[in-house]
Amino acid sequence: MELLSEKFERVLAYIDTHLNTSLSLDTLADIAQVPQCHFDNIFMSLFHSTSSQYIQLLRNLEAAHQLGFDKNISIMQVAQSVGYVDEATFTTEFTASIGQSPSDFQLHPDWGNFFVKQQPLKTLSEGHETLSADDVNVEVIRLETIPCIAIKHQASEQYLPQTIQSMRAFRQAHKLSPQFSRTFNLIHQFQQNASGQINMDIAVSVTAEQKAQLTAVINDSEHFYFSEIPQGQYATFLHTGTDEELKKKLNYLFASWLSLQHKTLANYPLFFERLNILQQDNAQTRVFLGVV
């Protein structure tokens, strides 16, 4: 069975030779042979970076190389050669990545700084804090289908409290108490994307009777919708601690555990169940990852 790390080495090779193309998430996930909803979680676990951050850095390093050695090439020509469709976006992202504007770098390249900017590429797969199976304690369980009502958050992290408050108000209005209705976060993208957004759903479980009673409400809602967590096998572990500690455990789950257990990923996002949310001092998170 091919390791995930080997599959993602193929992704890196493809990116290196296709910088002038769109490099969509669909294409990269197909090359890695993983569901799109898991691609960036795995990429981050293996390489300390989202795929969009890696692609942006690689494009701008290549652009800097062209600009530094060709004083006559146009900025737009360089931008197009590394996959940018307009000069303004290229200038903004190049300046952020390299520390000089394209025109300034072409005239007066700071090669010392350029080589510093390459450093992340040299340590791409190094430096992970290795956890053991005992540190994470993953088990595989089977879940039956869980009907839910959900609200999507696809915006900056700073607006997440507003989305949470919307769900809290909905629960209170329709008597979906956290004591009896489970609370889930479906993680479509754990890290912020290139636009600074996070993509997740906040969901609460409902009974068949509650679903029937709330059908008219959901049909009239612009924000809430019916969803479900599908039945199947899930790798799961319980987490108590900081978000940074949780990220390390997720890195272990994606980068090590899947390959060690010869598991493949189901086409359903990673999700968390928030436990004891009414007791802040005793709050816990149970992580679920669909596997086959």
pLDDT digits (tens, 9 = 90+) for 172-201: 999 999 999 999 999 987 666 556 688 899
pLDDT at site 128: 58
Q: pLDDT tens digit string along 143-180? A: 999 999 999 999 888 999 999 999 999 999 999 999 99
Highest mean pLDDT among 126-130, 171-175, 250-254: 171-175
**Six token digits for residue 1:** 């069975």
For the chain, the average pLDDT equals: 92
Residue 139 has pLDDT above 90, yes or no: yes
Tokens representing residue 109 in the block = 């390249």
Question: Distance (Å, rounded) from C-alpha 162 to C-alpha 153?
Answer: 9
Q: What share of the chain is helix, strand, coil (3-state, %, to 5)?
A: 50, 20, 30
Per-residue pLDDT at 127: 57
Mean pLDDT over 276-284 rounds to 80
If you average pLDDT over residues 270-281, what whole number do you get? 88
CA 259/CA 255 separation, integer angstroms:
7
Q: Quote the pLDDT of residue 239.
A: 96
Alpha helices in the chain (DSSP H): 4-17, 25-32, 36-47, 51-69, 75-81, 87-98, 102-107, 111-117, 119-122, 133-136, 160-173, 208-213, 215-220, 243-252, 258-260
Domains of the chain plus CATH, in order, are 4-122 (1.10.10.60), 134-290 (3.20.80.10)
Other Cβ atoms within 10 Å of 35 Cβ, number:
16
pLDDT recorded at residue 31: 97
pLDDT surpasses 70 at 109: yes
Distance in angstroms (rounded) separating the CA atoms of residues 37 and 130:
24
Summarised one tens digit per residue, pLDDT across range 67-105 is 999 999 999 999 999 999 999 999 999 999 999 999 999
pLDDT of residue 281: 75
In this predicted model, what pLDDT tens digit does every residue of 220-250 receive, in sequence order? 999 999 999 999 999 999 999 888 899 899 9
Contact 184, 272 (CB under 8 A): yes
φ and ψ at residue 203, rounded to 5 degrees: -135, 150
d(CA 232, CA 144): 7
